């Protein structure tokens, strides 16, 4: 398949070729107006949340003029993204419900910084802005992190937010591979978050002479024969995901996740999983999915503890709820394609029976009812099998 079109300004994600908008549903979605009533903010009785956290994705800051995605259908506001991050920080700090921590869902700076020799400078600018609101930030790694830095550099950087394991506690990180960036943390009793490394199996951030690079190349070559591996191998369908700007989860990481979720099941915990790449086909375009999304979905569906999976990568965003398990799959809209006069961040308040997302700008308000806490007339707006 030929990528076609004009000149791509950088070797970055062609994931955003799709023309969908934040309000349009990918194939497989149901019509929101044809289903049961969607929970709204007014459905939530006023009460104090157990805890809250901020969410933001795909800032992709670079000190350069605006540009476009590959098809020139979406404008990218590189310089203004820092201003929108400032808006988010101000909103979180001044909110009546101040977040206890922030989830930064990956692609914190843009790949353009690398070619301009500005990676460190751009990262410092973003991290300085993030530090204005003195709460803990949990960083997810996306493809643009790896366009700017090697995996070993990221592990030594401030983007490594892995918490220290207390002596005698269960392991919060996978035992193998050693450089896998995944961990678990618990901000409140009965609730856990798991950060996953969606580029554990990837061509990005790996030395080309390494065994990991060779294994990833063999895997992608089984599906993509294009000279440019950023070019999707097929024009439509799930096979589009096998591109260089995506990646996958190693067996070691998946086995560790399975163990973490088994422990959470036994403790009746609520678990939210976060990573850069979406894993449910109805929560994103096929071109943005993780290579082995199906393996991760299978693990999630085999456990009762997971309540939500949050990702970035697809700048248009997306959402669906698994009708069998009740798990919510949220893909957050990207800051990079948000106009300077709008916003793209949210605050999630967590209660015993639900999480409530208060969005700003492009981010919609949503109510994520936990499985077993849903009444017949208060189901999710978009269900998926």
Confidence of residue 7 (pLDDT cuts 50, 70, 90): very low
Which domain, by its residues, includes 114? 51-384
Nearest to 14 by CA among 323, 254, 246, 236: 246
Q: How far is it, in rounded angstroms, from Cα 194 to Cα 355? A: 16
Give the C-alpha separation, 213 to 222, whole Å: 14
Q: For 275-343, where are the E strands, in sequence order? A: 306-311, 318-322, 328-331
Please tell me the predicted confidence (pLDDT) of residue 177: 80
* pLDDT of res. 1: 45
For residues 309 and 329, is the Cβ–Cβ distance under 8 A? Answer: yes
- 225 falls within a domain: yes
Say yes or no to pLDDT of 324 above 90. yes
Residue 256 resides in a domain? yes
Domain for residue 308, yes or no? yes
Is residue 380 over pLDDT 70? Answer: no
What CATH number is given to the structural domain containing 176? 3.60.21.10
Alpha-carbon distance values, 80 to 64, 215, 253 (Å): 9, 38, 36
pLDDT averaged over every residue in the chain: 88
Q: Long-range CB contacts (< 8 A, 24+ apart) of 4-9?
A: 5/70, 5/71, 6/72, 8/70, 8/230, 9/67, 9/112
pLDDT band for position 97 (cuts 50, 70, 90): confident
Q: Is the separation of the CB atoms in 330 and 323 below 8 Å?
A: no
Is residue 378 in a domain?
Answer: yes
Element (H, E) at 184: strand 183-188
Give mean pLDDT, residues 331-348.
98
Q: Kind of pairing, strands 354-361 and 270-274?
A: unpaired
pLDDT band at 383 (very low <50, low <70, confident <90, very high): low
Where is pLDDT greater, at 1 or 373? 373
290 located within any domain: yes
The first and second tokens of residue 53, run together, are 């956290």
Residue 124 pLDDT level (bands cut at 50, 70, 90):
very high
Q: Is residue 352, in this structure, part of any structural domain at all? A: yes
pLDDT in the model for residue 70: 75
Per-residue pLDDT of 272-322, as tens digits, reads 999 999 999 999 999 999 999 999 999 999 999 999 999 999 999 999 999
Q: Is residue 315 part of a domain?
A: yes
- Give residues with Cβ within 8 angstroms of 335, minimum separation 6: 56, 57, 58, 59, 60, 81, 84, 85, 344, 345
For residue 223, whether the previous peptide bond is cis, meaning omega lies within 30 degrees of 0, is no
Counting the structural domains of the chain, the total is: 1
Res 16: pLDDT: 33
133 within a domain of the structure (yes/no): yes
Alpha helix ranges (H) inside the chain? 80-94, 112-115, 119-130, 143-148, 151-155, 211-221, 251-267, 293-301
Question: Which residue carries 């800032």 as its tokens?
Answer: 59
Residue 8, pLDDT above cutoff 80: no
């Amino acid at each position: 398949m030929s990528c076609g079109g004009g000149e791509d300004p950088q070797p970055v994600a062609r994931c955003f070729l799709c023309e969908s908008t934040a309000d349009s549903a990918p194939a497989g979605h149901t019509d929101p107006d044809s289903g049961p009533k969607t929970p709204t903010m007014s459905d939530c009785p006023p009460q104090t949340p157990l805890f809250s956290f901020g969410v933001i994705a795909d800032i992709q800051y670079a000190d350069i003029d605006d540009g476009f995605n590959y098809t020139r259908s979406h404008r990218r506001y590189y310089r203004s993204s820092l201003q929108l991050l400032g808006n988010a920080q101000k909103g979180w700090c001044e909110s009546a419900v101040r977040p206890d921590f922030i989830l930064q869902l990956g692609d914190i700076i843009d790949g353009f910084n690398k070619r301009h020799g500005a990676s460190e400078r751009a990262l410092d600018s973003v991290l300085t802005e993030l530090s204005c609101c003195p709460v803990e930030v949990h960083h997810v790694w996306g493809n643009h992190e790896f366009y700017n830095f090697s995996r070993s550099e990221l592990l030594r950087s401030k983007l490594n937010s892995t918490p220290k394991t207390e002596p005698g506690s269960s392991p919060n990180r996978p035992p193998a591979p050693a450089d896998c960036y995944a961990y678990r943390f618990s901000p409140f009793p009965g609730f856990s978050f798991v950060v996953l490394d969606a580029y554990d199996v990837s061509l990005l951030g790996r030395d080309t002479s390494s065994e990991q690079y060779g294994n990833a190349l063999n895997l992608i070559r089984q599906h993509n024969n294009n000279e440019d591996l950023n070019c999707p191998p097929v024009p439509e369908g799930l096979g589009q995901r096998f591109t260089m700007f995506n990646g996958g989860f190693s067996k070691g990481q998946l086995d560790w996740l399975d163990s973490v979720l088994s422990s959470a099941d036994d403790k009746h915990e609520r678990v939210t999983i976060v990573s850069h790449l979406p894993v449910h086909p109805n929560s994103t375009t096929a071109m943005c999915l993780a290579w082995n999304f199906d393996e991760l979905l299978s693990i999630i569906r085999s456990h009762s503890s997971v309540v939500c999976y949050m990702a970035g990568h697809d700048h248009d965003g997306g959402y669906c709820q698994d009708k069998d398990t009740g798990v919510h799959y949220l893909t957050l809209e990207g800051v990079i394609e948000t106009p300077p006069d709008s916003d793209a961040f949210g605050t999630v308040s967590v209660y015993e029976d639900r999480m409530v997302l208060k969005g700003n700008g492009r981010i919609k308000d949503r109510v994520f009812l936990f499985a077993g806490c849903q009444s017949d007339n208060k189901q999710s707006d978009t269900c998926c099998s």
